[in-house]
Amino acid sequence: MIRRSSAKKVARPLLIGALALLIPAAIAGCEAGFDAPTLEYHQASGGAHVVVNGITVSNLFVLGAPVGSALPPGSSASVFLSLFNGGSNSDSLVSVSAPGAASSGQVSGGTVSLPANSEVNLTGPQPSVVLNGLTSSLSGGQDIPVTLDFSHAGSVTVQVPVQPQSFYYSTYSAAPTPAPTSPSATPTPSPTPTPTATKTPAKKSTAKPSATPTT
């Protein structure tokens, strides 16, 4: 009797431990069968996030040069972001700038329409927003201030990370290099011809007949 009781006491913890190992495995198998999103790989958001008057800006980042290099001063940089208008009225992104980091910003098409309760992705791989005339070299790991201007929501400035054009971001396109503007040639005025002097023909003197003496 004593031996059977001891065996039961030993077997019970082993059984409980085995069940504890089997239950998580069974649950994981069920999740995998239903394509559970927690088992899928998602790229982590590497950009800035901000909300301004009903407009949600997410995954906002500037694309830099590949790892180990930098965008030189005077060049351009691509900007990528997602926008969601959670309001009941339409809005639009009218301009993007980077005070102190770039001389100007360019939005493809001039503006980006944001219908009410809609999402607009400017996530590439081709850039819809470009910063021109970088004031200094730009490399991955830096942060620069970027200002977004909306027609109704107003403007917001946020520190935006610079992501190197490597690994996950290697498929994103760099900003196009602006074509150099050649100075227009100043037309050389053609010399004004000097008018030639016109010779005035000499007048022929007409000899008057002498008076006939009267006899």
Burial degree of 161 (CB within 10 A; 0-12, 13-18, 19+)? middle
Give, in order, the Cα–Cα distances in Å from 90 to each of 57, 84, 86, 136.
15, 11, 9, 36
Q: What is the mean pLDDT of residues 164-182?
A: 81
Q: Where are the beta strands (DSSP E) in the chain?
A: 48-52, 55-63, 77-85, 91-97, 102-107, 112-114, 118-122, 129-134, 143-150, 154-163
| Average pLDDT value for residue range 122-138 | 94
Residue 206's pLDDT band, with cuts at 50, 70 and 90, is low
∠ CA 161-41-45, rounded to 5°: 15
Residue given tokens 């000899």 in the structure block: 207
| Model pTM score | 0.63
Q: Residue 54 above 90 pLDDT? A: yes
**Is the pLDDT confidence value at 65 over 70?**
yes
User: Which residues, 6 or more positions from 173, have their beta carbon under 8 angstroms from its beta carbon?
Assistant: 78, 124, 125, 126, 127
At 124, is the pLDDT very low, low, confident or very high (cuts 50, 70, 90)? Answer: confident
Place of tokens 């910003």: 105
Distance CA 97, CA 73 (A): 16
- The phi-psi region of residue 173 (left if phi > 0; otherwise alpha if psi is between -120 and 50; otherwise beta) is beta
Predicted confidence band of residue 38 (pLDDT cuts 50, 70, 90): very low
Q: Domain extents for the chain? A: 13-42, 48-171
Judge contact between 47 and 169, C-beta under 8 A: no
Does the pLDDT at position 200 exceed 60? no
Per-residue pLDDT at 120 exceeds 70: yes
Does 97 have pLDDT greater than 50? yes
pLDDT for position 27: 47
> How far, in Å, CA of 74 to CA of 35, rounded?
48
Architecture (CATH level 2) of domain 48-171: Sandwich (2.60)
